Amino acid sequence: MTGYLLRRVLQAAVVLLAITAAAFGLFYAAPSDPALIACGPKCDTAQVEAVRHSMGLDQPPAAQYLDYLRGLVAGRVISDVDGSAIDCAAPCLGYSYTLHQPVLDAIGDRFPVTLSLAGGALVVIAALGIGAGFTAALRRGTATDRLLSGFTLVGASVQIYFLGYALQYLLVYSTDLMPLPGYAPLADGPGAWAAGLLLPWLVLGFVNAAVFARLARSQTLETMHEGYVRTARGKGLTALRAHVKYTARGAAGPLVQLLGLEAGALFGGAFITETVFGLGGVGKLAVDSVVQNDLPTVVGTVLLAAFFVVVFVALADLVVAWLDPRVRLA
């Protein structure tokens, strides 16, 4: 187990290193000049050169990359456009000359929004998708099955920006059934926090639930005729209890794996949902940074997204191994 974890962490480190290298390469491939952007449109050539020097952009790329990696591990001191020193503690993701703050702080400001949005959406995805799929399988061929399968298919085929705005209009502006979506920190009270995020959770969850529903249905159908489910019924358990305790356990593996991938993706930011509901999360930060050529922020958000995917996929593997004692972690 310890060996497995160690190997897994090493693997993750290699993946993340490759991603930083790729993202950093992008930094130089991009047709923009970070110094010019940082300095602003009114700078003359000498001023830009001065800024370039203070930003360390006149160093060879390899040296800059090593500098970046050193910053990730040990922190570093970065000079701002005006030459003043900024202390960027580890893990230093660089400094955004557009936002005038360290990238980590920029992400940190927005991360609670992303965390809240993704966490709630995952709960909706798991409950709605897996619940619908499991129920549809147990009632295979009935009206319930067709209704649930059809309902989740609607989710898969509708776009977030359409569904989001439509529901906002129907439930918030026209009828006042729901409060205006928005982010209130959890610290200000869970009621306001949940109320503001309820609609985004439902929309993001519903749209992503279909693939889970389909997988849950087919997995359940495959498992429900296993010998051990029959044995459980032979003991005198009710069919429902046998399916909840045994069928669901047997069907869970691939669902957990997929949920891990989904979690990794959502924690990296959900740009469309954030935009539709006016939530300032990491997704919006990432897209804005691309639009504004804010390269340190681009690299930082890309790295963050990759980090979450790697972490959640590994976590899913651990859960699968815990669910099924036959799985050996290797």
Tell me which residues touch other proteins (CB under 8 A): 141, 226-228, 230-239, 246, 249-250, 323-326
Q: Rounded to the nearest whole angstrom, what is the least distance from the CB of residue 9 to other proteins in the complex?
A: 23
Nearer to other proteins, 53 or 249 (CB): 249
Measure Cα distances from 52 to 28, 83, 120, 199, 293 in Å.
14, 10, 43, 45, 16
In the complex with other proteins, the residue whose CB is nearer, 42 or 328, is: 328
Q: Least distance to other proteins from the beta carbon of 253, Å?
A: 10
Beta-ladder partners of 86: 78
Residue closer to other proteins, measured from CB, 42 or 235:
235
6 burial (CB, 10 Å; 0-12 / 13-18 / 19+) is: exposed
Give the shortest CB-235-to-other proteins separation in angstroms: 4
Q: Which is nearer to other proteins, 42 or 225 (CB)?
A: 225
Cis before residue 254, ω within 30 degrees of 0?
no
Least separation in angstroms between residue 134's CB and other proteins is 16
CB closer to other proteins, 250 vs 260: 250
The helices-and-strands tally (H runs, E runs) of the chain is 15, 4
CA–CA–CA angle 20, 259, 180 (5° rounding): 90
Report how far residue 258's alpha carbon sits from residue 101's, in angstroms, rounded to the nearest whole number.
Answer: 36
Residues with Cβ within 8 Å of 122's Cβ and at least 6 positions away in sequence, in order, are 205, 259, 262, 263, 266
| Shortest separation between residue 142's beta carbon and other proteins, angstroms | 9
Instruction: Provide, rounded to whole angstroms, the least separation between the CB of residue 133 and other proteins.
Output: 19
CB 20 within 8 A of CB 301: no
Q: Which is nearer to other proteins, 79 or 144 (CB)?
A: 144
- How many C-beta atoms lie closer than 10 Å to residue 95's C-beta? 27
Using CA atoms, how far apart are residues 324 and 228, in angstroms rounded to an integer? 14
What's the min distance (Å) between Cβ of 325 and other proteins?
A: 5
Q: Give the residue with the Cβ less far from other proteins, 41 or 236.
A: 236
**Token digits of residue 24:** 């950093």
